[in-house]
Amino acid sequence: MSASSPTRAPERPAAQERFDRRLAEILDYATEIFADKGYEGASMRDLSRLSGISLAGLYYYFDSKEKLLYFIQHHTFTILIERVREQLAESADPEERLRIFVRNHIEYAVARQKAMKVLSHEDDVLTNGYGAEVTAIKREYYRICVGLVNDLAKTEGLKTLAPEAAARGGINIRSAVMGLFGMMNWLYTWYNPRVDPDAETLAREIGDIFLRGVRGGKSGAGKATMSSSVRDGGNGRAGKKSLSSRRQAAPASKSKAR
């Protein structure tokens, strides 16, 4: 049986729908258990108590705790990759595409903080081929981001941002990408929706921090710090104002920019 399939699969469509709903429910409960107790500290009995599903019922869907963790990680990265590819197809602008990647990741991280905690803390315990499969899909996700940063560097002529740029006092692309993931992946340790901005605003802020860093503190050739996707609600059609025009429009009181 493939590692990417649950232990059993019913044959009738109606039964399959019920099976899938219960599967998703179990994964949500398992994510909560792993996030709160850690993979090693959690047990199938803990999951049974939290979910109200008998041990026999749980083992009908998953034959081991390891398979549960595998499904959580595989499902999460599959969703992230599928969503970002769909959105990237709507834009050809390098900056906008990078911001799309950041926004997609931040939206998921803010909505599913416990899942992100499980991904961050339990990424090296899988065996029996599960670990290799999850590692492969994570590398695919990483390569998408590297490609977006590469495209930005080439389009804007950022010679200080390149695979070997560190030797010349610049920024290595791998370092830049891993730094970006560092900002995004650890949100669950500090994000508080009662005092912190919503996902869209946070994605814009993190995108600004990253872009200013790799551009050497500049906001880009004629581009405002805030992307068009944020100003017009995400459709990417609004024109981008130059920095000079924004300065001319700013009042003398230096009121906070949007």
211: domain CATH number? 1.10.357.10
Residue 8 scores a pLDDT above 70 = no
**Is-contact 107 203, C-beta < 8 A?**
yes
DSSP β-bridge partners for residue 162? 172
Residue 56 scores a pLDDT above 70 = yes
Model pLDDT, residue 234: 43
**Is-contact 113 188, C-beta < 8 A?**
yes
- Same domain flag for 213 and 99: yes
Residue 183 within a domain:
yes
> Once rounded to an integer, what is the mean pLDDT over residues 60-76?
89
Say what percent of the chain tops pLDDT 70: 77
**Is-contact 177 123, C-beta < 8 A?**
no
Residue 5 scores a pLDDT above 70 = no
Chosen domain end from 19, 40, 63: 63
- Same domain flag for 212 and 191: yes
User: Tens digits of per-residue pLDDT, 10-22?
Assistant: 455 676 677 778 8
DSSP state of 161: E
- Same domain flag for 118 and 29: no
Count up the domains in the chain and report the number.
2
**Is-contact 191 110, C-beta < 8 A?**
yes
- Same domain flag for 32 and 92: no
Residue 57 within a domain:
yes
- Same domain flag for 110 and 200: yes
Model pLDDT, residue 15: 64
- Same domain flag for 59 and 72: no
Chosen domain end from 63, 88, 105: 63
As a whole number of Å, the CA-based R_g of the chain is 22
Which of these ranges, 3-7, 35-39, 131-135, 156-160, has the smallest mean pLDDT? 3-7
From the list 76, 63, 83, 77, the residue with the least C-alpha distance to 3 is: 63
Residue 227 within a domain:
no
**Is-contact 176 210, C-beta < 8 A?**
yes
Domain that includes residue 9, residue range: 1-63
Which range, 115-124, 128-137, 177-186, 222-231, is most confident? 177-186
Which of these ranges, 63-72, 81-90, 163-172, has the smallest mean pLDDT? 163-172
Mean pLDDT of the chain: 81
Residue 157 within a domain:
yes
Chosen domain end from 63, 98, 113: 63
Model pLDDT, residue 235: 42
User: Tens digits of per-residue pLDDT, 102-149?
Assistant: 999 999 999 999 988 888 877 778 877 888 899 999 999 999 999 999
Residue 207 within a domain:
yes
Burial of 20-37, coded b for 16+ CB within 10 Å and e otherwise, reads: eeebeebbebbbbbbbee
**Is-contact 219 212, C-beta < 8 A?**
yes
CATH number at residue 21: 1.10.10.60
- Same domain flag for 144 and 79: yes
* Rounded Cα gap, residues 34 and 106, in angstroms: 21
Residue 96 C-alpha from the chain's centroid: 16
> Once rounded to an integer, what is the mean pLDDT over residues 24-49?
91
> Once rounded to an integer, what is the mean pLDDT over residues 202-212?
97
- Same domain flag for 13 and 136: no
Model pLDDT, residue 124: 76
pTM of the model: 0.75
Model pLDDT, residue 166: 80
- Same domain flag for 109 and 46: no
- Same domain flag for 77 and 42: no
Residue 250 within a domain:
no
Residue 14 within a domain:
yes
Model pLDDT, residue 29: 92
Model pLDDT, residue 217: 65
How big is the chain, counted in residues?
258
- Same domain flag for 209 and 81: yes
- Same domain flag for 81 and 168: yes
